[in-house]
């Protein structure tokens, strides 16, 4: 039994194996360049969208890939129902438009995949911290793993996007139906109460690799 995630991950892996982006793979197969974009993998209502059998057949044909090999790729990225890789970008890249959707999930086709065994969250992803703005908690080069689907609670470290588009990391000290109490990590920053109307989304940071 293969999942929606297994099939799309195998397409990503097949593209990398052939030194192609997913857009280039789609073009090579005679498809629209956006056919395999991450934004196309989920419908506007949040339902999984599967690649058509015709698209898969064209991809296998243009890359000379036997079905058995593609099936092996679908199996290779999972273990005991857990993910072994997650989408990856730098924090600076993710901060630009088109990389994270309105719920904080990855979108677009610029993401890479990195090993991250044991993550059960379907929409988890990794970001490499760039710069020193989050010191002393996170340093330049640290990699955080983020879950946009986990419920956030007081005490969590979170990734969040403000209504003005700014992407940052904060400590969530308190949360009500209308406000979030947030702290930055610099000692002099203090605590700030932010109306939820000023926050597009918040996502829990699961762990960091330093």
Q: Give dist(CA 75, CA 3) in Å, integer.
A: 10
Contacting residues for 166 by C-beta, under 8 A, at least 6 apart: 95
Same domain, 176 and 98: yes
Which structural domain, as residue segments, surrounds residue 130?
Answer: 82-210
- Number of domain units in the chain: 2
Q: Measuring CA to CA, how many Å separate 206 from each of 63, 123, 125?
A: 37, 12, 10
pLDDT attached to residue 190: 79
Same domain, 142 and 206: yes
Domain end (from 14, 43, 76): 76
Range among 6-10, 24-28, 120-124, 182-186 with highest mean pLDDT value: 24-28
State the DSSP string of 152-203. P-TT-EEEEEETTS-EEEEEEEEE-SSEEEEE-SSTT--EEEEEGGGEEEEE
* Range with the poorest average pLDDT among 51-55, 81-85, 141-145, 201-205: 81-85
pTM here is 0.63
Same domain, 46 and 143: no
Same domain, 34 and 12: yes
Question: Using a CB cutoff of 8 Å and minimum separation of 24, what contacts does 171-174 make?
Answer: 172/202
Output 83 or 194, whichever has higher pLDDT.
194
pLDDT attached to residue 117: 65
Q: State percent of the chain over pLDDT 70.
A: 91
CATH number for position 69 = 1.10.260.40
Same domain, 99 and 197: yes
26: part of which helix (H) or strand (E)?
helix 22-28
Same domain, 88 and 70: no
Q: Give dist(CA 6, CA 59) in Å, integer.
A: 16
Q: What digits encode the pLDDT tens for the residues 4-46?
A: 888 888 898 888 888 888 889 999 999 998 898 877 888 766 6
pLDDT attached to residue 37: 85
Same domain, 67 and 100: no
Q: Are 203 and 157 in contact (CB under 8 A)?
A: no
Q: What digits encode the pLDDT tens for the residues 43-65?
A: 766 678 899 999 999 999 999 99
Same domain, 145 and 55: no
Range among 40-44, 111-115, 161-165 with highest mean pLDDT value: 161-165
Domain end (from 53, 76, 99): 76
pLDDT attached to residue 21: 86
The rounded Cα 143 to chain-centroid distance in angstroms is 13
Show the tokens assigned to 48. 């999984």
Show the tokens assigned to 209. 């690799």
Same domain, 97 and 190: yes
Q: Give dist(CA 15, CA 60) in Å, integer.
A: 11
State the DSSP string of 53-111. HHHHHHHHHHTT--HHHHHHHHHHTEETTEEEEEEEEEHHHHHSTTSB-TTS-B-SS--
Domain end (from 23, 47, 76): 76
CATH number for position 178 = 2.10.109.10
Q: Are 14 and 65 in contact (CB under 8 A)?
A: yes
């Amino acid at each position: 039994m293969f999942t929606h995630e297994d099939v799309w991950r195998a397409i990503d892996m097949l593209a990398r194996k052939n030194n192609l982006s997913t857009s280039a793979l789609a073009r090579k197969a005679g498809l629209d360049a956006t056919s395999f974009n991450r934004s196309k993998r989920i419908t506007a209502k949040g339902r999984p969208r599967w690649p058509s059998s015709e698209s898969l057949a064209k991809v296998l044909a243009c890359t000379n890939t036997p079905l058995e090999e593609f099936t092996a790729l679908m199996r290779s990225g999972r273990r005991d129902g857990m993910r072994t890789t997650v989408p990856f970008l730098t924090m600076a890249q993710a901060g630009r438009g088109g990389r994270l959707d309105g719920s904080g999930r990855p979108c677009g086709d610029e993401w890479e995949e990195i090993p991250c065994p044991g993550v059960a969250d379907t929409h988890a992803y990794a970001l490499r911290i760039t710069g020193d703005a989050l010191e002393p908690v996170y340093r330049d080069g640290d990699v955080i793993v983020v879950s946009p689907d986990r419920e956030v609670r007081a005490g969590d470290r979170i990734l969040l996007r403000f209504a003005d588009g700014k992407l940052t990391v904060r400590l969530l000290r308190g949360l009500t139906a209308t406000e979030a109490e947030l702290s930055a990590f610099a000692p002099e920053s203090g605590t700030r109460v932010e109306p939820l109307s000023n926050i597009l989304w918040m996502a829990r940071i699961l762990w960091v690799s330093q």
